Amino acid sequence: MPSRPATTAPASPLTSWLIWLTAAVVYLLAVFHRTSLGVAGLDAAERFGVGSAALATFTVLQIGVYAAMQVPTGVLVDRFGPRRVLTGALLFLGLGQVLLALAQTYAVALVARGVLGLGDALTFVSVLRLAANHFPGRQYMLVTALTGTLGFLGNLAATLPLTLLLAGPGWTPTFLAAGLVTLAFTAAVTLRVRDTPSHRTAASPSVSMSEVVAQLREAVRVPGTRLGFWTHFSAPFSQNVMVLLWGLPFLVDGQGYPATTASSLLAVFVVGAMVGGPVLGGFVGRRPELRMPLAVTYLATVGVTWAVLLGWPGQVPVAVLVPAFTVLSFGGPFSTIGFALARDYNPISRVGTATGIVNVGGFVATTVVALAVGVLLEVTGGDYRIALLTMPVVLAVGAWRMSVWWLRARAAVFAAEERGEPVPVRLRRHRWDAAGVSLERTPSAA
């Protein structure tokens, strides 16, 4: 079976960490730009003279662009190397934020957010491909988790610090400075980042569109890639939807909390993800055979959490909200298991493409749920309990498909072992693996 080599020995561990850190700062900047309207929403509504529906379009557009660009980004990274794609990402991010800073109309601001979404879409897959090139398999999960943690630092920067800047210098100076700093960081990427330990730029030979499609098809056919997609689909969307769009309205309009209390409660999502990411990444990196049992356990816990939140009579107390939001905050860290699966079960030349496929999952789920919640709020006259039932419904769909592909991926590993082929992770057989063998033999359209 196609698999990632077990190790990739960097020429200098310190150099590889510095290269990764430089690239991860690009992701930090991308997350800052992505989440900046979370606290600038009221300023944007006043500046452009729009209502809540138009503001929601900003978020949905950016997430939609992000999701649509993940597979093309993976192909671009495999073709041109992560260093060049990261440089392009910084240019789009910087120019998009400068355009937003100077925008005077809603239409121009919408275009600016679309450009930001394009730049954002190019970052994460590029950083992960860079990590795959520079770090051995046992460290990849940890490096992926640390990348996510740095991203949440960008999220933190887009909360209170950005609020203070908007209240002080104002919209144009704040976002203009953010855009110019982002553009300036292209110099650091150009000087410091190397695609591989031995080459500054590692571009693949030019290939035809038919070859690109064939590579994409091969990545999709790998059960580990499909499993990674559904893992990423199921784990992070609860956290994403609450942080990016509906968390504050749910707490203020649906639960009756003051805006200051609601903002503090939403900080639990950021802190939980920052702490949980490195802990989970380090543990799973040492025990990769436990990553899927942990993912299944986590999704079951999320289901129970939503049952408590939506079934609680009256206002949900803070003592319940804090542990509930802490559980949901681990969605980001657990979603990184999907990227480890993409790396392990695909050859290195196809890791970028496979990672892009996996990354689509969580943002497709986020877009669908964000839109569904909005529609249900309109239909029910603002009933958050009914609208947020979308969360457990989509969670159940994702968990079901993840379970199916977990069984199929295990069957593929056992079949490879029987053929004498090397496998990235040794698994122990269980009685229920007979169901996976049956599913593996059932034809399934890619």
Distance CA 382, CA 281 (A): 39
Binned at pLDDT 50, 70 and 90, residue 439 comes out as: low
| Longest CA span, the chain | 66
What is the average pLDDT across 85-91?
96
Binned at pLDDT 50, 70 and 90, residue 287 comes out as: confident
Lowest mean pLDDT among 238-247, 304-313, 333-342, 397-406: 238-247
What is the average pLDDT across 4-25?
73
What is the average pLDDT across 346-354?
83
Binned at pLDDT 50, 70 and 90, residue 359 comes out as: confident
Q: What is the pLDDT of residue 319?
A: 95
Q: What is the pLDDT of residue 30?
A: 94
In the chain, pLDDT over 70 holds for what percent of residues? 90
Distance CA 81, CA 229 (A): 22
Lowest mean pLDDT among 99-113, 243-257, 422-436: 422-436
Residue 9 clears pLDDT 50, i.e. is over it: no
Q: Give 393's contacts (C-beta < 8 A, 6+ positions apart).
A: none
Residue 435 clears pLDDT 50, i.e. is over it: yes
Q: What is the pLDDT of residue 22?
A: 95
What is the average pLDDT across 180-197?
91
Distance CA 260, CA 188 (A): 38
What is the average pLDDT across 74-93?
91
Higher-confidence residue of 138 and 407: namely 407
Domain boundaries, the chain: 13-194+209-440
Q: What is the pLDDT of residue 29?
A: 94
Distance CA 362, CA 213 (A): 23
Binned at pLDDT 50, 70 and 90, residue 78 comes out as: confident
Q: What is the pLDDT of residue 433?
A: 67
The pTM of this model reads 0.78
Domain 13-194+209-440: give its CATH code.
1.20.1250.20
Lowest mean pLDDT among 53-62, 118-127, 165-174: 53-62
Residue 144's alpha-carbon distances to 192, 285, 355, 392, 403, in angstroms, are: 19, 10, 12, 27, 23
Residue 42's alpha-carbon distances to 39, 146, 190, in angstroms, are: 7, 32, 37
